[in-house]
């Protein structure tokens, strides 16, 4: 009998990154979409927030660019099981955008150009957890990755970081988005493997 029994692969290296359960590391940035890639020129782009009372707040591209931006380095975790670590983004924090929005809503339904939607608790958009990102690794965000701007909520599975974002609807009751209506988890915490309803 050999010293190493079949199936034994040794201990995880101390230098190996910690990944959520069921994830594998990739150096690539896979492109997954539920439909065709919208091409939205910045002079036609608008981001809106509509409160539960119907009050509408809007920012043009120029308005967004005039706000203070932040550059953050975050890990990404896709529900299809890949993780990409140490990605660098530049965008405007949702704390900045929602600062003067009067709301008591607990939920948000995010809308994208192209019709995609996803739902999140409002608290997951605040306290430095979410951005409207317009640069990736120092370059303008490519349409394939959600450009000109996407939502970035890196502590949840990547389908919650809606590409081609155009607005947020604030709601008193949770309303499932595109993938959630198809059986994906309403919240999507990668560390708890919340991939599908019932996880």
Domain ranges of the chain: 42-192
Superfamily of domain 42-192: Oxidoreductase, molybdopterin-binding domain (3.90.420.10)
Burial of 56 (0-12, 13-18, 19+ CB in 10 A): exposed
Distance from C-alpha of 87 to C-alpha of 26, rounded to nearest angstrom: 12
User: What does the alpha-carbon distance between residue 92 and residue 112 come to, in Å, rounded to a whole number?
Assistant: 17
Residue 16 is predicted with a pLDDT of 56
Tokens of 159: 């389908």
CB atoms within 10 A of CB 146: 25
**Whether 51 contacts 170, CB under 8 Å:** yes
- pLDDT digits (tens), the chain, 199 positions: 344 333 333 344 445 578 999 999 998 888 877 678 889 999 999 999 999 999 999 999 999 999 999 999 999 999 999 999 999 999 999 999 999 999 999 999 999 999 999 999 999 999 999 999 999 999 999 999 999 999 999 999 999 999 999 999 999 999 999 999 999 999 999 999 999 998 8
pLDDT for 28 equals 86
Q: What is d(CA 159, CA 35) in angstroms, rounded to the nearest whole number?
A: 13
The predicted structure's pLDDT at residue 167: 98
Report pLDDT for 88: 97
The per-residue pLDDT for 41 is 95
For the record, the structure tokens of 198 come out as 């019932």
């Amino acid at each position: 009998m050999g010293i190493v029994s079949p199936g034994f692969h040794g201990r995880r290296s101390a230098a190996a990154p910690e990944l959520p359960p069921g994830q594998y590391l990739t150096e690539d940035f896979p492109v997954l979409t539920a439909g065709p890639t919208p091409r939205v020129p910045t002079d036609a782009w608008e981001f809106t927030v509509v409160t539960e009372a119907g009050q509408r707040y809007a920012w043009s591209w120029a308005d967004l660019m005039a706000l203070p931006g932040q550059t953050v380095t975050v890990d990404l975790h896709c529900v299809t099981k890949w993780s990409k670590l140490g990605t660098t983004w530049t965008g405007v924090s949702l704390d900045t955008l929602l600062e003067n929005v009067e709301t008591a809503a607990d939920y948000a339904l995010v809308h994208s150009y192209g019709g995609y939607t996803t739902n999140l608790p409002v608290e997951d958009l605040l306290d430095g957890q979410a951005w409207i990102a317009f640069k990736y690794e120092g370059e303008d965000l490519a349409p394939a990755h959600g450009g000109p701007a996407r939502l970035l909520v890196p502590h949840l599975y990547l389908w919650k970081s809606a590409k081609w974002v155009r607005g947020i609807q604030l709601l008193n009751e949770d309303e499932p988005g595109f993938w959630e209506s198809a059986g994906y988890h309403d919240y999507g915490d990668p560390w708890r493997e919340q991939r599908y309803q019932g996880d």
